[in-house]
């Protein structure tokens, strides 16, 4: 009998039996197999509550995700498990996945205490994947993830061994919500092959408010076994010392008469535990203060002398240079930017892309030199067809000097995403385009991006008319979905320059319905500098009689022409 049928027959009994009580017998609340579920329930009902430190948590969703591993990302979730401050949540489950991608296994999300993911008040601390990857809020630090994943077959690739071990592995995850204001995650997977995999992560969270934890499927499913709370194992934080400091955004020059040699710079300190944080400038010491009354090159030494918990310790330091210059009297554009033609559809102002731009400053003594773009401010472009201009300004010690850069605007036929790059993932979509069996659909667009991450670029969704997805593929050689499992991805990207060249690129996306229940997608991308690259996905499984495509993006916008 399938597990799901048995669970339905015994749901009422499970709800009555799984109460939040103290107990010393951990096995009393475990579900070892469907065949002994009723016996376990009888045993639980017969047990007597006591005043032990273990609080068992009701498992309402015993099987998370479709048992054929068809649940796509962010479509199937475990129960919410609330973890009060100073408590440790222990979860046990059997992990199953497609075995295709490293990520087709368990995924853990730790969020605030809001119990509704669709609520505007819902905020995530982080998402942690079983393959030692994740993302999160400003405190998230990928360097804090550790793993012991071995190369068991000696072929130099740990990930094929990882995927094998995770199939049917019994996983236990401890999520320790310390009253120190940190959460500590330890995930241990024991494979049917006897291999043990351990992954850890830690991050700051609320010290007093409860946090929520839940599992998410991605081409995977889980059979839940145990859930209980015990007291936190972390009552104090071991303090750590700084090991390095890096400063960014420091001014390259300062006009004579301006005494601010720091400007809007930031300092990032890395500590001996591998964590890092941006520190306030008031906590920095400047061991060498430059002479701001004379023209010339100056050196500034910056030091930080506090531990992670704020105690004074031996300092770490770095330095930067800047020029004290005469006042600027005029600006002229001497090299136009790579992007001088913009496609638009929305009426909102357009962010000016300064890549390749060179502006020459004239100084009070008549000398001229290219002025760093970082010292200039740039106005937005009016969204109107034809000739427009971007305002360029230099704010000096005594006056502001300006010039303009001419650009041309051409109106497109549609747009996906906001002009200010504020569009969040899965919030803005193009229309659906039908792709008939044996035919192709070509979409030509221009992508404008904040150039922060590879995936701030167009993604293509393949789905049925009723929005049931076959798969989603990004421009940067990544995808997911049940149909994507059969795809072959090829590209000629230089990922060292990919991100910085996204904005202003012309992107031609060709979706081909092969008529044999497979589809291909080809991206042909022309950077603003003229460089051309391709990204192809071949053999995505679809229903050729019901195939549509649509576009979605994140922190970028697409103008379809």
Q: What is the pLDDT of residue 35?
A: 41
Q: CB-based contacts of 496: which residues, under 8 Å, 6+ apart?
A: none
Q: In the sheet that 459-463 helps form, which strands lie side by side, from edge to edge?
A: 433-434, 548-552, 459-463, 469-473, 479-480
- Classify residue 428: in a domain, yes or no: yes
**In-domain check, residue 261:** yes
| 298 assigned to some structural domain | yes
| Interval 266-283 mean pLDDT | 92
- Cβ atoms within 10 Å of 523's Cβ, excluding its own: 23
Residues 371 and 509 both lie in one domain: no
Is position 441 within any domain?
yes
* Averaged pLDDT, 331-344: 97
Check whether residue 453 and residue 390 sit in a common domain: no
Domain boundary among 362, 386, 411: 411
Region 235-262: mean pLDDT is 89
Beta bridge partners of 472: 461, 480
Cα–Cα dist 553/476, whole Å: 12
Cβ neighbour number for residue 202 with a 10 Å cutoff: 20
Q: Which of 284, 299, 325 is the last residue of a domain?
A: 325
| CATH number of domain containing 301 | 2.60.40.3630
What tokens were used for 84? 């009060």
Q: Distance (Å, rounded) from C-alpha 233 to C-alpha 84? A: 13
- DSSP-derived secondary structure for 400-418: EEEEEEEEEEEE-SEEES-
Together in a domain, 493 and 537 = yes
Q: Residues near 83 by Cβ (< 8 Å), separated by ≥ 6? A: 89, 175, 177, 183, 210, 211, 212, 213, 229
CA-wise closest residue to 20 among 82, 112, 78: 82
- Looking at the fold, whether 296 and 342 belong to one and the same domain comes out as no
Is residue 473 a contact partner of residue 536, using CB atoms and an 8 Å limit? no
3-state secondary structure at position 128: strand
Same domain assignment for residues 68 and 180: yes
Q: How far is CA 479 from CA 187, 491, 509, in A?
A: 26, 13, 15
Is residue 185 in some structural domain?
Answer: yes
Q: What angle do CA 33, 35, 36 make, to 5 degrees?
A: 75
Q: Is the dihedral of CA 69, 147, 32, 111 positive or negative?
A: negative
Domain with 141 in it: 57-231
357 and 419 together in one domain: no
What's the Cα-to-Cα distance from 186 to each of 93, 114, 138, 149, 340, rounded to whole Å? 14, 23, 21, 14, 51
Per-residue pLDDT at 12: 39
Beta strands in 120-272 (DSSP E): 124-129, 133-136, 146-147, 170-178, 182-190, 196-204, 211-216, 220-231, 242-248, 253-255, 266-271
Judge if 213 and 308 occupy the same domain.
no
Question: Which range has highest mean pLDDT (271-280, 370-379, 506-515)?
Answer: 506-515
pLDDT at 363 over 90: yes
508 within some domain = yes
Does one domain contain both 148 and 202?
A: yes
Are residues 445 and 532 both part of a single domain?
A: yes
Q: pLDDT, tens digit, for every residue of 477-513?
A: 999 888 998 999 999 999 999 999 999 999 999 999 9
User: Which percentage of the chain shows pLDDT scores above 70?
Assistant: 91
Identify whether 224 is part of a domain: yes
Distances (CA, A) of 159 to 163, 165, 201: 6, 10, 19
Q: Are residues 66 and 188 in the same domain?
A: yes
- Sign of the Cα pseudo-torsion (138, 144, 148, 150, in order): positive
Distance CA 364, CA 366 (A): 5
pLDDT digits (tens, 9 = 90+) for 510-550: 999 999 999 999 999 999 999 999 999 999 999 999 999 99
Alpha helices in 267-358 (DSSP H): none
Same domain, 428 and 529: yes
Instruction: Mark whether 142 and 261 lie in a shared domain.
Output: no
pLDDT of residue 4 exceeding 50, the answer is no
Mean pLDDT of 153-178: 95
- With respect to residue 43, please indicate whether it lies within any of the assigned structural domains: no
Q: Hey, what are 471's tokens?
A: 């798969």
Residue with tokens 């042909």, as numbered in its chain: 524
Contact call for residues 458 and 549 (beta carbons, < 8 A): no
What pLDDT was estimated at residue 253? 86
**Reduced to 3 states, what is the DSSP secondary structure of residue 40?**
helix
For residues 21 and 13, what is the distance between their CA atoms, to the nearest angstrom?
16
| Three-class secondary structure assignment of 416-483 | ECCCCCCCCCCCCECCCEECCCCCEEEEEEEEEECCCCCCCCCEEEEECCCCCEEEEECCCCCEECCH
Q: Output the DSSP codes for 51-96.
A: --S-EE---S-SEES-TTS-PPTTS-B---EEE-TTEEEEEEEEEE
pLDDT band at 374 (very low <50, low <70, confident <90, very high): confident
86 backbone φψ class: left, alpha, beta (φ>0; ψ -120 to 50): left
* pLDDT level of residue 9 (50, 70, 90 thresholds): very low
Report the CATH number at residue 496.
Answer: 2.60.120
For the segment 42-67, the average pLDDT, to the nearest whole number, is 72
* pLDDT score of 21: 38
Mean pLDDT, rounded, of the chain: 90
Instruction: Look up the CATH number of the domain holding residue 403.
Output: 2.60.40
CB 539 within 8 A of CB 518: yes
Q: Among 194, 199, 271, 285, which Cα is nearest to 237's?
A: 271
Place of tokens 């019901």: 546
Q: What is the pLDDT of residue 29?
A: 37
What was the pLDDT predicted at 52?
61
DSSP assignment letter at 13: H
Residue corresponding to tokens 């020459």: 360
Q: Which two tokens stand for residue 237?
A: 């934080």
Percentages of the chain per state (helix, strand, coil), in multiples of 5: 10, 45, 45
User: What pLDDT is attached to residue 5?
Assistant: 37
- Choose the final residue of a domain: 308, 325, 342: 325
Conformational region of residue 239, where left means phi above 0, alpha means psi within -120 to 50, and beta covers everything else: beta
Residues 116-136: tens digit of each pLDDT: 898 889 999 999 999 999 999
Residues forming a β-bridge with 532 = 526
Domains of the chain: total? 4
> Does pLDDT of 293 surpass 60?
yes
């Amino acid at each position: 009998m399938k597990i799901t049928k048995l669970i339905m027959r015994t749901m009422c009994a499970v709800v009555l039996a799984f109460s939040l009580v103290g107990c010393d017998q951990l096995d009393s609340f475990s579900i070892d197999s469907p065949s002994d579920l009723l016996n376990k329930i009888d045993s639980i009902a017969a047990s007597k509550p006591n005043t032990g430190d273990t609080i068992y948590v009701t498992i309402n969703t015993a099987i998370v995700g479709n048992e054929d591993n068809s649940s796509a990302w962010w479509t199937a979730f475990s129960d919410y498990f609330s973890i009060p401050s100073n408590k440790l949540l222990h979860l046990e489950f059997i992990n199953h996945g497609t075995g295709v991608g490293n990520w087709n296994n368990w995924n853990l999300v730790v969020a605030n205490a809001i119990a509704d993911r669709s609520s505007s008040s819902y905020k995530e601390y982080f998402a942690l994947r079983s393959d030692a990857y994740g993302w999160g809020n400003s405190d998230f630090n990928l360097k804090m993830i550790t793993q012991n994943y071995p190369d068991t077959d000696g072929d130099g690739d740990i990930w094929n061994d990882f995927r094998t071990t995770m199939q049917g592995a019994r996983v236990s995850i401890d999520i320790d919500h310390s009253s120190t204001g940190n959460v500590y995650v330890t995930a241990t997977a024991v494979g049917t092959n006897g291999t043990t995999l351990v992954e850890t992560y830690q991050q700051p969270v609320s010290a007093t408010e409860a946090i929520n934890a839940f599992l998410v499927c991605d081409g995977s499913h889980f059979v839940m076994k145990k859930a209980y709370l015990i007291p936190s194992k972390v009552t104090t934080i071991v303090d750590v010392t700084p090991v390095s400091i890096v400063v960014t955004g420091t001014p390259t020059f300062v006009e004579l008469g301006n005494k601010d040699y720091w400007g809007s710079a930031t300092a990032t300190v890395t500590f001996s535990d591998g964590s890092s944080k941006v520190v306030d400038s008031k906590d920095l010491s400047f061991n060498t203060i430059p002479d701001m009354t004379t023209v010339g090159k100056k050196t500034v030494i910056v030091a930080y002398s506090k531990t992670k918990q704020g105690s004074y310790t031996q300092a770490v330091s770095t330095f930067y240079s800047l020029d004290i210059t005469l006042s600027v009297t005029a600006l002229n554009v001497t090299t136009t930017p790579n992007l001088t033609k913009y496609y638009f559809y929305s009426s909102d102002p357009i962010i000016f892309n300064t890549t390749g731009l060179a502006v020459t400053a004239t100084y009070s003594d008549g000398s001229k030199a290219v002025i760093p773009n970082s010292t200039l401010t740039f106005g937005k472009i009016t969204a109107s067809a034809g000739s427009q201009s971007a305002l360029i300004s230099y704010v000096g010690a005594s006056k502001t000097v300006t010039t303009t850069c001419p650009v041309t605007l051409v109106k497109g036929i549609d747009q996906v995403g906001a002009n200010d790059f504020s569009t969040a993932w899965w919030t803005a979509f193009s229309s659906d385009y039908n792709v008939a069996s044996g035919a192709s659909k070509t979409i030509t667009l221009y992508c404008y991006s904040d150039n922060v991450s590879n995936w701030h670029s167009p993604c293509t969704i393949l789905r049925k008319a009723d929005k049931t997805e076959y798969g989603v593929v990004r421009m940067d050689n990544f995808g997911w979905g049940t149909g994507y499992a059969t795809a072959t991805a090829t590209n000629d990207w230089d990922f060292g320059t990919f991100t910085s060249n996204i904005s202003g690129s012309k992107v031609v996306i060709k979706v081909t319905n092969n008529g044999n229940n497979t589809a291909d997608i080809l991206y042909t991308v022309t950077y603003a500098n003229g460089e051309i690259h391709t990204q192809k996905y071949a053999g995505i499984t679809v229903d050729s009689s019901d195939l549509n495509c649509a576009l979605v993006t994140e922190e970028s916008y697409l103008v379809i022409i």
